[in-house]
């Protein structure tokens, strides 16, 4: 709450039942206020009231690492005002009972829950380890910052998470990445993922220079802070009164002195931006692997449980099997800060309440779903012509459309938890048509030319198409596509011959799996192009939002529950 990607999750007897980011409900991207609608949605799903809830856990502990915060502030007196402002703001939002009572319209005296605060990065690691099927793992979390820490390493065993190391601000690999992204004109919260796609277009011209900015340091790393603005309010992120998030400027004048004027957003991307993106990604990976190798020395197992915003760097994730001793990853699908809701709840359950019974998270479909009658009502209210189909004819019709080059909105079942659309709120297309990327960008998605689209592949066929067979169920790994398959997958093959794949197993999403299989029967390709169902907005949640997006853009068809809508008939 009061942090970008505010969210809520509800667990019962250690099992995640429902989880959602507030942005999906109030439609404000990366919303950073109080997650009122998300809390209400959790309760509605359970058929419960807030008075039924026994424990409320928050993935933020303003008292954690206080000594380090003070130490930094005293050494950097210019930051004292910010520090005081930050503490005051945080004090104001401490009373969760009042906040919940106001959000839900209940008397705060009627609530009987116990309240728990879990340090930011412990919650991140908990969101990965407790959801993994493992009894022992190395835990790793890294991001811009949370509770004054940017990186945490832990030994996870049974129900315990033992913190081995914290890297404190201003040292932050996430801030380094954000700083360069801002400098090259990507200055919105969450833009880092876009720049990752730009990196392979560049050369390593600035590699030596960036190596000076982030040095390796005996199992850790060290930023040259002359290139960074001193820490500001909320550690580089401003939350505006309407709950939207704005990044404070991260780079200092020294960046301008060394590299020239920063690129203004929406201006032409030059060689310099590509080369900076390339060197940044390269240096980021090196430091990441250095940290992981250090972690492995202290926790010598080959299982890695990971979260934190930087864990969304799927390019780095895809390489770690070759560059570190880790052989298996379990990365929380909501690796960014919305995932803290699940992590804080599971940490409370297992560690604070000492409950041993674990539930592995096998999919990410923890959001709302809508009945056929509700969907049909929305179609009627929008005066759309549609047909209702049984499962097999629906799959065959959609596969047939996709094979013929159509762009299809695919809205099914429960919405995904986390930033990726994984086949329930997706826009789908043929992955082997050379023009498809341009078609999607011109008609539907309007994204930057350099951003790749992602492939969803039948899990058992992954090794035939990709050079790695470690599964990527949550689209969190980028692997090389085998050279002989790149033409067949040309619409999802990035400039460096890679793809950020989703491996789809039948037991995780049977309907989506069978759709890909139907497409394979038509085309011989066990892969679909999968991009999120949205257009410059949070991913659609409700049938009405899907219909609005379908009408606004130029999709050819919409498969929404058992109903199929064709643009040509409307």
Residues in contact with Fe ion by the rule CB under 5 A: 143, 146, 337
Q: Minimum distance from CB of 511 to Fe ion (Å)?
A: 32
4/440 with CB nearer Fe ion: 4
Sign of CA pseudo-dihedral 177, 229, 65, 91: negative
Tokens of 79: 């930051």
33/200 with CB nearer Fe ion: 33
Q: What is the DSSP string of 127-144?
A: HHHTTSS-SEEEEEEEEE
139/431 with CB nearer Fe ion: 139
Q: Distance from first CA to last CA of the chain, Å, rounded?
A: 42
339/473 with CB nearer Fe ion: 339
476/559 with CB nearer Fe ion: 476
Going by C-beta distance under 8 Å and a sequence separation of 6 or more, which residues neighbour residue 155? 138, 139, 161, 162, 164, 298, 299
Beta-carbon count within 10 A of 540 CB: 25
Return the H-helix or E-strand segment holding 57. Answer: strand 55-58
146/190 with CB nearer Fe ion: 146
- CA-to-CA dists, residue 281 to 206, 214, 227, 269, 498, angstroms: 11, 12, 17, 17, 15
CA distance 434 to 436: 6
Q: Minimum distance from CB of 340 to Fe ion (Å)?
A: 7
Q: Minimum distance from CB of 68 to Fe ion (Å)?
A: 17
Tokens of 285: 């990976």
Q: Minimum distance from CB of 39 to Fe ion (Å)?
A: 20
346/406 with CB nearer Fe ion: 346
By beta carbon distance, the residue nearest Fe ion is 143
Closest C-alpha among 93, 96, 97, 95 to residue 107: 97
CA distance 196 to 476: 13
CA distance 19 to 36: 13
Q: Minimum distance from CB of 103 to Fe ion (Å)?
A: 23
Q: Minimum distance from CB of 221 to Fe ion (Å)?
A: 18
CA distance 451 to 459: 24
Q: Minimum distance from CB of 309 to Fe ion (Å)?
A: 5
Q: Minimum distance from CB of 142 to Fe ion (Å)?
A: 8
142/326 with CB nearer Fe ion: 142
Beta bridge partners of 228: 251
Indicate the DSSP class of residue 56: E
Q: Minimum distance from CB of 144 to Fe ion (Å)?
A: 7
Beta-carbon count within 10 A of 408 CB: 25
Q: Minimum distance from CB of 121 to Fe ion (Å)?
A: 7
178/509 with CB nearer Fe ion: 178
6/531 with CB nearer Fe ion: 6
457-460 contacts at long range (C-beta below 8 A, 24 or more positions apart): 457/501, 457/502, 457/503, 457/504, 457/516, 457/526, 457/527, 458/503, 458/504, 458/513, 458/516, 458/517, 458/520, 458/526, 458/527, 459/503, 459/504, 459/505, 459/506
Residue 484 CB burial class (10 angstroms; 0-12, 13-18, ≥19): exposed
119/285 with CB nearer Fe ion: 119
Q: Minimum distance from CB of 189 to Fe ion (Å)?
A: 12
CA distance 367 to 428: 20
148/370 with CB nearer Fe ion: 148
Centroid of chain to Cα 19: 14
22/337 with CB nearer Fe ion: 337
CA distance 311 to 476: 8
Indicate the DSSP class of residue 492: T
CA distance 246 to 177: 16
Q: Minimum distance from CB of 235 to Fe ion (Å)?
A: 11
Q: Minimum distance from CB of 188 to Fe ion (Å)?
A: 17
Preceding amide of 472 cis, omega within 30: no
116/445 with CB nearer Fe ion: 116
Q: Minimum distance from CB of 490 to Fe ion (Å)?
A: 36
Tokens of 414: 């429960």
Which phi and psi angles does 431 have, rounded to 5°?
-85, -5
């Amino acid at each position: 709450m009061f942090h970008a990607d505010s969210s809520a999750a509800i667990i019962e007897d250690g099992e995640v039942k429902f989880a959602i980011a507030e942005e999906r409900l109030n439609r404000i991207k990366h919303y950073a206020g109080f997650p009122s609608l998300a809390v209400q949605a959790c309760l509605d799903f359970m058929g419960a009231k807030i008075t039924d809830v026994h424990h409320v856990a928050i993935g933020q502990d303003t008292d954690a690492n206080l000594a380090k915060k003070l130490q930094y502030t005293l050494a950097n007196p210019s930051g004292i005002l910010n520090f005081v402002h930050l503490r005051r703001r945080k004090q104001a939002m401490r009373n969760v009972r009042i906040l919940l009572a106001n959000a839900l319209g209940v008397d705060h005296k009627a609530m009987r829950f116990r309240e728990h605060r879990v340090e930011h990065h412990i919650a991140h690691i908990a969101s990965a380890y407790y959801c993994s099927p493992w009894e022992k793992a190395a835990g790793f979390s890294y991001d811009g910052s949370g509770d004054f820490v940017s990186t945490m390493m832990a030994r996870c065993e049974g129900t315990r998470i033992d913190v081995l190391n914290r890297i404190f601000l201003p040292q932050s690999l996430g801030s380094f990445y954000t700083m360069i992204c801002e400098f090259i004109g990507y200055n919105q919260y969450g833009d880092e993922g876009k720049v990752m796609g730009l990196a392979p277009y560049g050369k390593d011209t600035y590699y030596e220079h960036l190596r000076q900015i982030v040095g390796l340091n005996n199992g850790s790393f060290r930023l040259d802070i002359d290139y960074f603005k001193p820490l500001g309010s909320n550690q580089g992120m401003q939350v505006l009164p309407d709950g939207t998030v704005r990044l404070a400027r991260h780079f200092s004048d020294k960046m301008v002195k060394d590299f020239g004027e920063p690129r203004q957003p929406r201006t032409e991307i030059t060689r310099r931006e590509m080369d900076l993106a390339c060197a940044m990604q390269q240096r980021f990976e090196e430091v990441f692997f250095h940290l992981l190798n250090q972690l492995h020395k202290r926790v010598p197992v080959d299982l890695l449980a990971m979260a934190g915003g930087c864990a969304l760097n799927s390019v780095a994730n895809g390489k770690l099997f070759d560059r570190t001793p880790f052989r298996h990853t379990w990365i929380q699908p909501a690796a960014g800060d919305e995932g803290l809701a699940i992590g804080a709840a599971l940490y409370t359950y297992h560690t604070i309440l000492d409950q041993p019974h674990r539930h592995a998270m096998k999919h990410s479909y923890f959001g709302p779903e809508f009945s056929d009658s509700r969907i049909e009502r929305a179609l009627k209210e929008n005066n759309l012509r549609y047909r209702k189909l049984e499962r097999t004819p629906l799959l065959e019709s959609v596969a047939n459309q996709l094979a013929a080059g159509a762009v299809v909105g695919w809205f099914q079942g429960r919405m995904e938890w986390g930033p990726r659309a994984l086949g329930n709120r997706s826009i789908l297309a043929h992955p082997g048509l050379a023009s498809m990327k341009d078609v999607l960008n011109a008609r539907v998605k309007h994204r930057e030319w350099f951003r790749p689209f992602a492939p969803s592949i039948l899990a058992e066929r992954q090794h035939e198409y990709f050079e790695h067979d470690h599964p990527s169920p949550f689209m969190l790994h980028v692997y090389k596509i085998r050279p002989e398959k790149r033409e067949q997958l040309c619409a999802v093959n990035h400039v460096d011959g890679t793809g950020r794949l989703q491996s789809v197993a039948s037991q995780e999403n049977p309907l989506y799996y069978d759709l890909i299989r139907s497409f394979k029967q038509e085309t011989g390709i066990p892969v679909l192009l999968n991009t999120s169902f949205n257009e410059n907005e949070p991913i659609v949640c409700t049938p009405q939002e899907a219909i609005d997006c379908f009408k606004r853009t130029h999709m050819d068809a919409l498969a929404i529950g058992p109903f199929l809508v064709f643009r040509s008939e409307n």
